[in-house]
Amino acid sequence: MTASTWHYGVTARWWAEFNTDGPEIDFFRSYVEAGQPALDLGCGTGRLLLPYVRGGLDVDGCDVSADMIALCREAAEREGLAPSLYIQPKHELDLPRRYRTVFVCGALGVGSTRAEDLQAFQRVHDHLEPGGMFVLDNEVPYAEGNGWELWRPEGRATLPRLRRPPGKRRVGADGTEYELRSRVLDLDPLEQRMTLEMQAFMWRDGDLVAEDEHLLTLTLYFKDEIVLMLERAGFVDVTVRAALTDAEPTGADDFLVFTARKPALPSSGGRER
Ligand SMILES: C[S@@+](CC[C@H](N)C(=O)[O-])C[C@H]1O[C@@H](n2cnc3c(N)ncnc32)[C@H](O)[C@@H]1O
C-alpha cells in the first residue's frame, strides 16, 4: 500500500483557519534560535513557520501538499512576509540551501512509509551543514486516544469502524463552517501502520459547498526505532526527551522529541610546525 495524506482542499483550509497556535511553537523556537538558517519540514500552513519568520528568524518551509503551502504563502503575504516555501515530499527533499537546523513537528510517519521516512532522514542529513541539528517530535503508538487496543486481534475484529454521525461544526473567521470526521479502517501491527478515512465538510450560509474524502496512513514508531533510523542515516549525538518539557522521558509521555546532529567536519589534521 502506498502512503497518503489528507492535507488538501477543505482540510488544508481547516488547518489554516484553526491550527494556528500551540505550545510546540515556543518549544521548537529555541532550536531555531540556536541554529539558522532553519527548515520547517512538513510545515503545513505555517503554524510554527509564520511566527518564527514574523519574529525575524531565517526559516524556510517545505511540505508535500501544494494546498497547505498555498495557504501558508497567502497568510505570509497578508503580513508582508515572503519565506521560501517548497512543495516536495520529504523523502525526495532537494533544496538549494543548506541549514543549521531542520525540524519536523507532527509530520513523521504522517502519509509516509517506513522506507520513505528513513530516506527522508538521509535527505535531511544531506541538507544540514556539518554540525547541524535535526529535531523532530513523535506521538508514541500507545498515546491516549491512538487506539492501542486495535493492535490485538479482538480489537482489529472491530475494524473498519463505522462512519461517525454528523458532529459539531467549527466556524471560521468569515462565517464558513467546517467539520472533520475520521474513522479507523485498518491497523497492521506487523507494519505498524494505521489507515484512516478522513472526511472534511464545508458549509457557507448553511449550504454544503465542499466535501472531501481522503485516506490517511500513519506509520507508528516506538522510541528506539527512531533512534536507530537516525543513526543509520548518519546522525550522531541522538537524544530523546519528553516533548515540551525537555525532561527525561518516561512511559507516561505521549510525545517524544528527538535531536540528532550531523557530524562536524573532521579537523584538518595538519601537522604542527
Ligand atoms: C499534522 S500536519 C503538521 C503541520 C505543521 N508541522 C504543524 O505542526 O502545524 C502534517 C503535515 O505533513 C505534511 N506531509 C505529509 N506527508 C508528507 C511528506 N511525505 N512530505 C512532506 N510533508 C508531508 C502534510 O501535508 C501536513 O502539512
This prediction has a pTM of: 0.95
Q: How many angstroms does the Cα of residue 21 sit away from the middle of ligand 1?
A: 16
**Average pLDDT per run of 10 along the chain, which is 273 residues long?**
75 95 97 98 98 98 96 98 97 98 97 96 98 98 93 97 92 96 96 95 96 94 98 98 93 97 77 49
Contact 50, 66 (CB under 8 A): no
Residue 183, beta-bridge partner list: 197
For the Cβ of 23 lying below 6 angstroms from any atom of ligand 1, the answer is no
pLDDT of residue 2: 54
pLDDT of residue 268: 59
pLDDT of residue 138: 98
pLDDT of residue 170: 97
pLDDT of residue 265: 81
Q: Which atom of ligand 1 is nearest to the CA of 104?
A: 6
For the Cβ of 72 lying below 6 angstroms from any atom of ligand 1, the answer is no
For the Cβ of 85 lying below 6 angstroms from any atom of ligand 1, the answer is no
Q: How many angstroms does the Cα of residue 269 sit away from the middle of ligand 1?
A: 42
For the Cβ of 141 lying below 6 angstroms from any atom of ligand 1, the answer is no
For the Cβ of 11 lying below 6 angstroms from any atom of ligand 1, the answer is no
Q: How many angstroms does the Cα of residue 207 sit away from the middle of ligand 1?
A: 30
Which residue puts its alpha carbon closest to atom 1 of ligand 1?
106
Q: How many angstroms does the Cα of residue 126 sit away from the middle of ligand 1?
A: 20
For the Cβ of 112 lying below 6 angstroms from any atom of ligand 1, the answer is yes
pLDDT of residue 267: 65
Evaluated on CA atoms 226, 227, 229, 235, the torsion sign reads: positive
For the Cβ of 43 lying below 6 angstroms from any atom of ligand 1, the answer is yes
For the Cβ of 106 lying below 6 angstroms from any atom of ligand 1, the answer is yes
